[in-house]
Amino acid sequence: MTSIVIPAHNEGRVIGRLLDALLAEAPAAPSSAAASGLDIVVVCNGCTDDTAAVAGARGPRVRVVEIPTPSKHTALRVGDEHAQGFPRLYVDADVVVTGADVRALAGALTAGPELLAAAPGRDVPLTGCAWPVRAYYQVWQRLPAVREGLFGRGVIAVTEAGHARIAALPPLMADDLAASLAFAPGERRVVETARVAVHPPRTWADLIRRRVRAATSSAELEHYQAARAAESPEALSGDAPPAPSARTGTGDLRALLLSRPQLLPGVVVFVVAAIVARRGARKAIRTGDFSTWLRDESSRQG
């Protein structure tokens, strides 16, 4: 049976659309989610809104667990305690993925024992977004690391062996990036026949909030990678391979411009956003504040 764990902190405005999409093709009145082939667990962590009520209104097909701690990492582990099977999907409450897409991901993971993790193709609806946001995402979506990585999709599916890999990771703000980099390219796959809608911020201010969070969380992940490398015998001999990274280099932007020169305005916006975000993240990185979650609200307008 395929299990779906959905950590949700004050997501009452949007979690309904996700659950409705997941359940749309299920029998009209199954006795449980298991009867429809999907085991759905929503972990409401530290919620002060109606997230639990909205999820609970979907009936017995959705199991709702409430915990007092507003922690995504804790919510994921609690979800693991309640989930019943594999493949297992971890799905952010603010994206939209259907039951058919879930089955496509689960099916892809049976292709071979070497495949441990998968994620769907990404759709970013830009209608209603400010023009700098649209320009930014027109560049961001075309970057090699973004196209090939499992991060930034809000959905990751793992086998039981893949789950053991990511369950060993410590609490990290960049949990999806860390999960993606935990697998070698041959162990992970983006399944383009499955799709997820990832709603972007609608305003420049909210885009910068997201990018500051990304810059901060990337720094935390790099600190963790450096500490792990220092602990390994290979690092002491200088033979350790470089830590995997998803950072965008100037070479990536140059190659993009050579192939699509019309994206020059978007590249300028992308570079400006990166500079502003890195400056905004300096204090948090300097003080080691990797717990303040800068959340944009404009993407959660229903």
Instruction: Say what the pLDDT of residue 301 is.
Output: 76
Say what the pTM is.
Answer: 0.91
CA dihedral for 166, 169, 173, 174, sign (positive or negative): negative
297 alpha carbon, distance to own chain's centre: 17
CA dist 247 and 260 (Å) reads 20
CATH for the stretch 2-126+150-198: 3.90.550.10
Per-residue pLDDT tens digits for 101-112 = 999 999 999 888
CB atoms under 10 Å from CB of 239, counted, come to: 9
What are the sequence ranges of the domains in the chain? Answer: 2-126+150-198, 204-300
CA dihedral for 149, 181, 99, 57, sign (positive or negative): negative
Residue 177's pLDDT band, with cuts at 50, 70 and 90, is: very high
Per-residue pLDDT tens digits for 72-119 = 999 999 999 999 999 999 999 999 999 999 999 999 998 888 999 999
CB 147 within 8 A of CB 141: yes
Written as one string, the DSSP assignment of 165-201 is HHHTSPP-SSHHHHHHHTS-GGGEEEEEEEEEEEPPP
Q: Which of 156, 158, 149, 155 is nearest to 197 (CA)?
A: 155
Per-residue pLDDT tens digits for 215-267 = 999 999 998 888 888 877 665 555 555 556 667 889 999 999 999 999 999 99
CA dist 289 and 222 (Å) reads 14
Of 106 and 26, the structure prediction assigns the larger pLDDT to 106
CA dist 289 and 215 (Å) reads 12
CA dist 221 and 229 (Å) reads 12
CA dihedral for 150, 151, 157, 163, sign (positive or negative): positive
Strand ranges across the sheet with 188-198: 62-67, 38-45, 2-8, 88-91, 155-158, 117-123, 188-198, 95-96
